[in-house]
Structure 1
Amino acid sequence: MFCTVRVVKYWDDKELIRVVMTVSGDILLCDLDAFFASVEQLDHPEYRGKPVIIGGRPGERGVVATCSYEARKYGVRSAMPMVQAVKLCPDAVFLPVNMDRYRQVSARVFAVYDRFAAQIEKVSIDEAYLAVPSGVGLETARKIREAVRRELGLPVSVGISVNKLLAKMACELAKPDGLYRVAKEDMPKIIWPMPVSKLHGIGPQTKEKLNRIGVKTICQLAKFPERELIKMFGAAVGVMLHQRANGNDIREIQAEREIKSIGEETTFPKDVYDQDAVLTTLMDLAGQVGYRLRHKGLKARTVTVKIRSADFSTITRSQSLSAAVEGDGAIYKVARELFVTNCGQPPWRLVGVQVSNLDSYEQLSLFQEKDEKVSRVVDKLKDKYGMGVIKRGSLLLSEERKKKQ
């Protein structure tokens, strides 16, 4: 573990106490640029240089998951309704989310990161913090970018600094497909002139509240009396705002996070009236959840189903089991029963499957052993040949019916 300077604040009898500990090291934030779109452009060379929008087909319901930088020039952004994205960029390539493929590529990218840093905190499928010894951050970032580009053909932006906050802001400055280093002494020149909204952790409401008292830049926030911020926002938030504006961040790299649940859900392109079609989707989701569960070396004692109707009313129902499971069949069996019992009347808009109360080991029944052995054999085939290499017969029949419609 590297040592870093760490300032901790707390209140004792209305007196602000500071405890200072020292730490050191460089922090990197690696962010795969427009990841989903970049993977699609990698797999389909004909899409390169074109605006690519991931999230669904024109005319379908949903939002933009991500888009290429070519599409962003038209004003398209993540989380934008797909209808609006079509209006802004009607000639774009519109594609559904292929999460299995993105996870596969993400795993290969993180395997590259593993070669350069012992401490890695996975933020999301396309973003991670890496801790490296002090002074080697810039060179390590160059090597990571070269390796990811050479071995996987993907762009990755990297921000380098002394803590997570500044590494995040440096990464934003590095995009797209670049690297940027922000040292603590660079704060007045690089960070302070920015509007307060650019400071990680400040949302629209906090921004408006700060603007009303004349605080519009990070520099103004850094120099604003800390006690006044505490009066306005409370001790925790007030101290955090003042510290971050001055480039201080005590958060550590969390190399291992306890996994509390694993889930997958699907929003249907159109409302679904056919219960069998929903059950087929639940079977696919149970398979995805089971695959992730087994790859983490875990088993689950609770299965939860999420059901959303066309009027947006949503229910979740759970069932806890006497023995932990990891097989696709066992997860689907419970999910199916929960759906059939609680689904109400069609149409349905969304369904999801989640498992929780996770264990690392549990004695299996004979049925579970068979189910999980089959699931593990399927996992090996998926790992080697891709997620779509093998599917249950009912899923294939469902796909054939869709093609004929």
Structure 2
Amino acid sequence: MRSAAWPDVRVACLWIAQLPLRVEILRHPAWDGRPLVLGGAPGERKVVQLCSPEAEAAGVWPGLPLREVVPLCPGAIVLQPDPVRTASVLEAVLADLQRVSPLVEPGEGDDGYFFLDLRGLQGMYGELAALEEAIRAAVPPLLRPRLGFANGKFAAAVAARLAEPGLSKSRMVPASETRAFLAPLSVRHLVLLEPEALQRMELLGVRTIGDLAALPFNAVQAQFGMPGAHAWRLAHGKDTDPIVARPVSASVQDGLRFDDPLGSIEAVMAAIDQLLAHTFSQPALLGRSVRQVRLRALLSDGTSWERLYTFKEALSTRDAARRALKSKLDLPNGLPPAPIEELALELLGLGGEAARQPGLFVARARQLAEIADAARQLRARYGRVPLYHAVEVEPWSRIPERRWALVTCDL
């Protein structure tokens, strides 16, 4: 039996609306309440990507050419995308939420969603109010997060979107009330469906989630395929999607901050030398190789810069990594477009011990471990694992091609 202090909910969803704009407000608190407009990155179309409610009230909308923003809203602050700072804030929030619940799933990209698995937490927090207080403490108030509780990820996300900003009051949807809560809402909340499918639903008169739930399952699946079948189940409150935490990948990182911004290749390489010396001296890299390096920089003009370099071969020494990075930065447009104020270096794709000759006869478990390590290196290099093994399919067939099939190795 559930106590009144802990309703029948198993998922909490924390949502930060307009995350890139809220990150800028976190840097400049005086901008809170001002009309903010996010434009395109260099090389992209000069249109509004995102705008705050204050800018929308002045007539600004996503897709509007940037040249028309100031005539409509003279006080608007036009910003450029800053993916490095946004990613840093997301990582910090995720790390703090993982102290609240051991199982946290971040959303895709910078959509601002975090899903927390609440199962087993009642014994730790006692009451749901104590858990809410722990979540509030994990998120800076200037981000204005919204919080929803439900028995599934979809209902929790909808509850978070309808909650009041700032965590002042969360939205609670117990399992028994899920279907009634979703029924009057627009089908536009079913973001798993393509916009064309949602438009076709509305043309067919299916405007609310309750309208969708009232249709026969077979008819919905015939019209909209597997996504439509999934949406029908969600409309009935049947959400069994598990919370999947982001897999932990081993990495080593370090960073530097400079009083005088770095603008030349010599100064940048000197800073990279210091970072490589420190990272390659850490115990986590002892006897191991590196396949990828990520460089992140905060620039003097207020923007950020990020590059991920994948090497053709695994590198196991500081000098080899330095030469590989210098060859990348020496290319045209290899350096950031403005002087660097902060520089961070992260080594990824850590492999097994380098230059290690195994014995001729080894245990099968050790062989599989080495094959799995090679598969990780191939995935880092090509984005997939180009390894296959033969599986017997039709041993009775007289045609050799039908007897065996090549199947991708699941490593």
- Superposed, 1:202-213 pairs within 5 Å as 202-213=193-204
Q: Secondary structure at the match of 2:312?
A: strand
Task: Provide the TM-score with structure 1 as the length reference.
Answer: 0.57
Structure 1 residues 188, 76: CA separation in 2 closer, same or farther (over 3 Å shift)?
farther
- What residue number does 2:115 align with? 129
From 203, 222, 240, the counterpart of 2:230: 240
C-alpha distance in structure 2 between counterparts of 1:55 and 1:259, whole Å = 33
- What residue number does 2:149 align with? 160
From 309, 312, 315, the counterpart of 1:320: 312
From 135, 142, 148, the counterpart of 2:132: 142
Matched, 1:172 2:161: yes
Matched, 1:97 2:81: yes
- Superposed, 1:24-43 pairs within 5 Å as 26-43=10-27
**Residue 117 of structure 1: how far off its partner (Å):** 0.6
User: Are the aligned partners of 1:31 and 1:156 in contact in 2 as well (CA < 8 Å)?
Assistant: yes
**Residue 51 of structure 1: how far off its partner (Å):** 1.2
**Residue 360 of structure 1: how far off its partner (Å):** 4.5
**Residue 254 of structure 1: how far off its partner (Å):** 1.0
Structure 1 residues 79, 210: CA separation in 2 closer, same or farther (over 3 Å shift)?
same
**Residue 319 of structure 1: how far off its partner (Å):** 6.1
Deviations 1:62-107 (A, max 9, x none): 4545443323434545676544655653421122334443344333
C-alpha distance in structure 2 between counterparts of 1:249 and 1:85, whole Å = 42
The unaligned stretches of length 5 or more in structure 1 are: 1-23, 262-276, 305-316, 349-354, 365-405
The unaligned stretches of length 5 or more in structure 2 are: 1-7, 252-262, 295-308, 338-345, 356-411
Deviations 1:231-287 (A, max 9, x none): 2233x22421211111222221111337699xxxxxxxxxxxxxxx9x99x99xx99
One-letter code of the match for 1:162? Answer: N
How many matched pairs?
A: 295
User: Are the aligned partners of 1:117 and 1:130 in contact in 2 as well (CA < 8 Å)?
Assistant: yes
C-alpha distance in structure 2 between counterparts of 1:148 and 1:117, whole Å = 11
- What residue number does 2:206 align with? 215
- What residue number does 1:267 align with? none
User: Are the aligned partners of 1:28 and 1:141 in contact in 2 as well (CA < 8 Å)?
Assistant: no
- What residue number does 1:201 align with? 192
Structure 1 residues 45, 356: CA separation in 2 closer, same or farther (over 3 Å shift)?
closer
C-alpha distance in structure 2 between counterparts of 1:140 and 1:88, whole Å = 45
User: Aligned residues: percent identity?
Assistant: 25
C-alpha distance in structure 2 between counterparts of 1:358 and 1:111, whole Å = 21
C-alpha distance in structure 1 between counterparts of 2:61 and 2:178, whole Å = 29
- Superposed, 1:298-313 pairs within 5 Å as 301=291
RMSD over aligned Cα, in angstroms? Answer: 4.7
User: Are the aligned partners of 1:138 and 1:160 in contact in 2 as well (CA < 8 Å)?
Assistant: no
C-alpha distance in structure 1 between counterparts of 2:87 and 2:130, whole Å = 24
Structure 1 residues 104, 57: CA separation in 2 closer, same or farther (over 3 Å shift)?
closer
Q: Is the strand fraction higher in 1 or 2?
A: 1
User: Are the aligned partners of 2:48 and 2:66 in contact in 1 as well (CA < 8 Å)?
Assistant: yes
One-letter code of the match for 2:230? Answer: M
Deviations 1:352-401 (A, max 9, x none): xxx9993345549xxxxxxxxxxxxxxxxxxxxxxxxxxxxxxxxxxxxx
**Residue 324 of structure 1: how far off its partner (Å):** 6.7
One-letter code of the match for 1:321? Answer: E
C-alpha distance in structure 1 between counterparts of 2:87 and 2:78, whole Å = 20
Matched, 1:256 2:242: no
- What residue number does 2:28 align with? 44
Structure 1 residues 80, 131: CA separation in 2 closer, same or farther (over 3 Å shift)?
farther
- What residue number does 2:408 align with? none
Q: Is the helix fraction higher in 1 or 2?
A: 1
Matched, 1:54 2:38: yes
User: Are the aligned partners of 1:29 and 1:128 in contact in 2 as well (CA < 8 Å)?
Assistant: yes
C-alpha distance in structure 2 between counterparts of 1:144 and 1:80, whole Å = 40
User: Are the aligned partners of 1:195 and 1:216 in contact in 2 as well (CA < 8 Å)?
Assistant: yes
**Residue 28 of structure 1: how far off its partner (Å):** 1.1
User: Are the aligned partners of 1:36 and 1:67 in contact in 2 as well (CA < 8 Å)?
Assistant: no
User: Are the aligned partners of 1:303 and 1:331 in contact in 2 as well (CA < 8 Å)?
Assistant: no
Larger gyration radius, structure 1 or structure 2: 2
C-alpha distance in structure 2 between counterparts of 1:33 and 1:216, whole Å = 24
C-alpha distance in structure 1 between counterparts of 2:322 and 2:165, whole Å = 43
User: Are the aligned partners of 2:291 and 2:351 in contact in 1 as well (CA < 8 Å)?
Assistant: no
Q: Secondary structure at the match of 1:167?
A: helix
Task: Provide the TM-score with structure 2 as the length reference.
Answer: 0.56
Q: Which moved more, 1:199-208 or 1:124-133?
A: 124-133
C-alpha distance in structure 2 between counterparts of 1:303 and 1:77, whole Å = 38
Q: Secondary structure at the match of 1:172?
A: helix
User: Are the aligned partners of 2:38 and 2:78 in contact in 1 as well (CA < 8 Å)?
Assistant: yes
One-letter code of the match for 1:243? Answer: R
User: Are the aligned partners of 1:33 and 1:177 in contact in 2 as well (CA < 8 Å)?
Assistant: no
**Residue 325 of structure 1: how far off its partner (Å):** 8.3
Q: Secondary structure at the match of 1:30?
A: strand
One-letter code of the match for 1:221? Answer: L
From 167, 180, 187, the counterpart of 2:178: 187
Deviations 1:91-128 (A, max 9, x none): 21122334443344333323321221111112245431
C-alpha distance in structure 2 between counterparts of 1:73 and 1:27, whole Å = 34
One-letter code of the match for 2:119? Answer: P
C-alpha distance in structure 1 between counterparts of 2:17 and 2:318, whole Å = 34
